[in-house]
């Protein structure tokens, strides 16, 4: 099984700023996949993991601010998912720093599956609210 991930229109919310952030997150996952697939130095994987932590936290902060502004009813629940993922992502980085390696297949599959499921199931729930506020900027596939 491969952890490689590529953006498809299926993941699009139709709100360009969030879609671009999701694309960047998936690109980071793909970069991590490439770094771990090669037998090169672990410094590259470490740098990608660091970027993933920073970008994950930045993305979640932006998304939660947006959802608060549009009055998303289940923001607290959504934010809880974010907190769990931030914690898990930090844990992955700490494990990597301690061991300089990790079960790449397990970690990459977890990250890929979590992000795709979160986008398709959780984030799609607020899409109608964005549309109600006139924020949909691209056609949803």
Distance CA 130, CA 112 (A): 25
- CA proximity to 121, closest of 87, 84, 78: 78
Identify the CATH number of the domain in which residue 57 sits. Answer: 1.20.120.50
Is 32 within a domain?
A: yes
Number of C-beta neighbours around residue 74 at 10 A:
12
pLDDT tens by residue, 61-99? 999 999 999 999 999 999 999 999 999 999 988 888 887
pLDDT at position 141 is 45
**Predicted confidence band at 41 (pLDDT cuts at 50, 70, 90)?**
low
Return the C-alpha torsion angle 53, 43, 94, 30, nearest 10. Answer: 40
Is 43 within a domain?
A: yes
Is 140 within a domain?
A: no
Tokens 């660091």 sit at which residue? 50
pLDDT tens by residue, 93-135? 888 888 765 677 788 899 999 999 999 999 999 999 999 999 9
Is 65 within a domain?
A: yes
- CA proximity to 56, closest of 89, 23, 80, 18: 89
**Predicted confidence band at 58 (pLDDT cuts at 50, 70, 90)?**
very high
For residue 78, what are its two tokens?
A: 């959504």
Is 6 within a domain?
A: no
Is 79 within a domain?
A: yes
Distance CA 55, CA 47 (A): 12
Range of 110's domain? 13-132
pLDDT at position 139 is 60
Q: Structurally, how many domains does the chain consist of? A: 1
Is 141 within a domain?
A: no
Residue 1, pLDDT > 50, answer: no
pLDDT at position 81 is 96
Is 20 within a domain?
A: yes
Residue 36, pLDDT > 90, answer: no
């Amino acid at each position: 099984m491969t952890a490689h991930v590529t953006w498809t229109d299926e993941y699009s919310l139709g709100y360009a700023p969030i879609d671009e952030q999701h694309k960047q997150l998936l690109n980071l996952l793909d970069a991590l996949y490439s770094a771990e697939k090669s037998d090169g130095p672990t410094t590259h994987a470490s740098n990608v993991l660091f970027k993933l932590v920073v970008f994950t936290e930045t993305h979640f902060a932006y998304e939660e601010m947006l959802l608060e502004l549009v009055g998303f009813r289940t923001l607290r629940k959504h934010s809880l998912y974010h907190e769990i993922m931030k914690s898990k992502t930090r844990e992955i980085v700490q494990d990597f720093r301690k061991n300089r390696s990790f079960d790449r297949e397990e970690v990459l599959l977890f990250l890929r599956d979590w992000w795709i499921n979160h986008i398709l199931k959780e984030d799609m729930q607020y899409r109608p609210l964005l549309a109600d506020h006139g924020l949909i900027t691209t056609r949803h596939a």
